[in-house]
Structure formats: C-alpha cells, structure tokens
Amino acid sequence: MRVPIFDFLRIPTSVHARSVEGRGAATIHDVTISTISSPPIPTTSPALISLLAKEKHTEKALTRTRKSLASLEAYLASMNIEHLAVSNVRGVMQEYETSAAELDEKVTELEDELKETQDAIQEEKKRLSGPTINEKLNLKATIGVFADFEGEIKVALIYGACLLV
C-alpha cells in the first residue's frame, strides 16, 4: 500500500537525499530534492494602470497650466502704451494678478497631485514585486513512502543542527 507523497517546501540548500529518515512501519521509496523556481513577478495591475493614467493626465494638465501662465506673462509683456489707456492700466494689472494667482495655485495643486501619484506608483510597483525570497531556502523535498499496513509513520529531514518533522 502506498502512502501519499510528502512535500517539504522552502528547505535549506544543505539538505541532501540521504538526510531523510523514516520512523514507523514504512519504507522510504523515493527521495527527490529539487530547486523551487520563483514565481514570475507581475509587472502590472489594474491599480498600477490607473495610477499611470492619472500620472499622465496630471502631467498634461500641469503642462497646460504652465503654458497658460507663460501666455499670460507674455501678454502682459507685449502690452504697448499706445494700445492701452492709462486709466485701464490698474484694471489690467489687477486682472493679471488675479489670473496669475489662480494659475499659480493650480500649478501647486497639480505638482502636489503628481508627487502623490508618483509615490503611489512606486508603492504599487514595490507591492507587485512581492516579498523577497531567501535563495538559501529554495529546495523542495518530495518523499515517496510505502507501507504494508495502515499506521503512524514519521518522516524527518535532517540538516545542520535542525530536525524538521
């Protein structure tokens, strides 16, 4: 009668096939030690796609706002005394100040939003990369056991000064 195969995962690289002991009325038939390959690391997620889209949208909005501010300053610089009555200068300057202040505020908000989005992108990429795997614990031991009758058995992997049961 065959007893199910035992799998031990993430065991140290110091384990060898001859480091297996069985206790009970059973015979160890097969011992296979193999390397566990790391699962593929995902490169994207719906959250990351959304964050990247938000980053692109925010960058474009920031570029537009900066162009608007530059256009406003260019307009003010292009004003000519011949085309503007002295009585209107105060109104033009107040309108410039109001518009420039609104655009400056919008630039600041968009810069803050862009920084937050970029930080969130870094966090999502970090989350996607997952936990680091200890390369010294990348073995799998598969042990096949046969028994003539039902009963308790123990399989032990012995390595270094430790015993896994």
Domain boundaries, the chain: 2-38+135-164, 46-129
| 160 and 12 Cβ atoms separated by less than 8 Å | yes
| 72 and 100 Cβ atoms separated by less than 8 Å | yes
Q: Please enumerate in sequence order all residues whose Cβ is within 8 A of that of 64, keeping only pairs 6 or more positions apart, or say none.
A: none
Measured between alpha carbons, how far is 84 from 91 in angstroms, rounded to an integer? 11
User: How many residues does the structure list for the chain?
Assistant: 165
Backbone angles phi, psi at 110, to 5 degrees: -70, -35
In percent, the amount of the chain with pLDDT more than 90 equals: 37
Secondary-structure percent of the chain, ordered helix, strand, coil, rounded to 5: 50, 25, 20
| 52 and 122 Cβ atoms separated by less than 8 Å | no
Please tell me the least confidently modeled range out of 2-16, 18-32, 77-91, 123-137.
2-16
At 106 the pLDDT is 97
**pTM higher than the cut 0.85:** no
| 16 and 141 Cβ atoms separated by less than 8 Å | no
Q: Which residues share a beta bridge with 35?
A: 139
pLDDT at 118 over 90: yes
Measured between alpha carbons, how far is 58 from 54 in angstroms, rounded to an integer? 6
In percent, the amount of the chain with pLDDT more than 70 equals: 81
- Please name the residue ranges forming H helices in the chain: 46-78, 86-129
